[in-house]
Amino acid sequence: MKWQIPVAKPDIGNDEIEAVTEVLKSGWITQGENVLKFENKFSKFCMAKYGIATSSGTSALHAALAVCGVSKGDNVITTPLSCIASSNPILLQGALPIFIDTDKRTFNIDVDLIKSKITNKTKAILVVHLFGHPVDMDPLMELAEKYDLKVIEDAAQAMGAMYKGKRAGSIGHISCFSLYANKIITTGEGGMIVTKDSDLDKELRSIRNLGEDDKLNFCYPRLGYNYKMTDLQASIGLIQLSKIDRLIVKRRKNIIELNNELEGYAEIESLPLELDYAHNVYFSYYIQMRDPKLRNKMVQFLGKSGIETRPFFCLIPDQQPYRRMGYTATRFKNSLKSFENGFYISNSPSLTHEDKSYIINSIKKGLR
């Protein structure tokens, strides 16, 4: 179906097309100088020292867990409400995700609940800045220091977001970004890891290149993967990165306009917000209805109106691979409620005034 308002529309123009054409003409299309330039500019933007480009956000997370030494028998504390990509790499390392319920306001992991789940098996905490709103990082980092745990930030939806003046992704020991087509900036597919630790940087570069020694060809001192990015993707990323401030301004403006029109309806429980410690980049426009029936009615109505909707990602413990392992989603009450009552629609920077008016009018009609 061709949607009038699709959930995501990448901001791709002539500059990106010309950049890719240049790379194609150069004859060097795999990992090369463009990747290095992109890594340097990306890490600088994120207020981190090192950037390691990868083939996807999922591969970035997998490499991050591997370099942190997460392995069989370990536990990693994380959120049950996210794209499944934030949790699958934990299982792929032979470890177990320990899910913590979410905060009612931000849908991020409830930091206050983490301490009770830390045991001698806990190796790391993997947090997701869902919908572009940062997790409350200060108390989390205090816990990590106290119990000697690594903190991995999944900032896939939060590039450019701020936490108390620091970039989301600059606070944990390692941070991972997705550059998929619907993200804040895109390279089509792709990911990025950032860190301030030179040792982690060196190991990560080896892990993403099959574990190869950085000075000796075809010498592999560690287990690794082929998680490299191409210069074709990096050329797009460099142009996208030059636009990011403008793209975020547009996203934030959209939220103000939509919220001003939709706040105050009794059927709607919550709309996008920004806590006082945060600068939100608003990955998408979410709406949490008062109950599942209202949510289903609205989703159906918007679909008929040509407005694409998506659920609040997934309840990871309720997915088949996790259920077969004995996980269940029912005890995560806040996450379950958000999943059953919530959905999201586009917050693309390319939304026009007419698009936003159509969204507002359609939602108001759906509430009648």
For residue range 30-40, list pLDDT tens digits in order: 999 999 999 99
Report pLDDT for 135: 98
* Residues in a beta bridge with 128: 154
Q: Are strands 278-279 and 285-289 parallel, antiparallel or unpaired?
A: unpaired
**How many Å is the maximal CA-CA distance in the chain?**
68
Report pLDDT for 18: 98
- Supply the CATH classification number for the domain 14-101+108-239: 3.40.640.10
Report pLDDT for 215: 84
Tell me how far apart the alpha carbons of residues 326 and 2 are, in angstroms, rounded to a whole number.
39
* Residues in a beta bridge with 314: 82
The ranges of the chain annotated as CATH 3.90.1150.10 are 244-366
For residue range 292-328, list pLDDT tens digits in order: 999 999 999 999 999 999 999 999 999 999 999 999 9
For residue range 135-162, list pLDDT tens digits in order: 999 999 999 999 999 999 999 999 999 9
User: Does the pLDDT value for residue 216 go beyond 90?
Assistant: no
The ranges of the chain annotated as CATH 3.40.640.10 are 14-101+108-239
How many C-beta atoms lie closer than 10 Å to residue 279's C-beta? 18
For residue range 78-129, list pLDDT tens digits in order: 999 999 999 999 999 999 999 999 999 999 999 999 999 999 999 999 999 9
Tell me how far apart the alpha carbons of residues 45 and 220 are, in angstroms, rounded to a whole number.
32
Q: How far is CA 80 from CA 69, 89, 313, in A?
A: 22, 14, 10
Which amino acid appears at position 225 of this protein? Y
Extended beta strands in the chain, E state:
50-54, 75-78, 81-82, 96-99, 122-128, 150-154, 162-163, 166-167, 174-178, 191-195, 268-270, 278-279, 285-289, 310-311, 314-315, 342-345
Q: Is 210 exposed, middle or buried (0-12, 13-18, 19+ CB in 10 A)?
A: middle
Q: Which CATH superfamily is domain 244-366 in?
A: Aspartate Aminotransferase, domain 1 (3.90.1150.10)
Q: Pull the structure tokens for residue 119.
A: 């045991």
Report pLDDT for 361: 98
For residue range 60-81, list pLDDT tens digits in order: 999 999 999 999 999 999 999 9
pLDDT category, 19, cuts 50, 70, 90?
A: very high
Three-class DSSP category at 12: coil
The H or E element that residue 350 is part of is none
How many C-beta atoms lie closer than 10 Å to residue 239's C-beta? 20
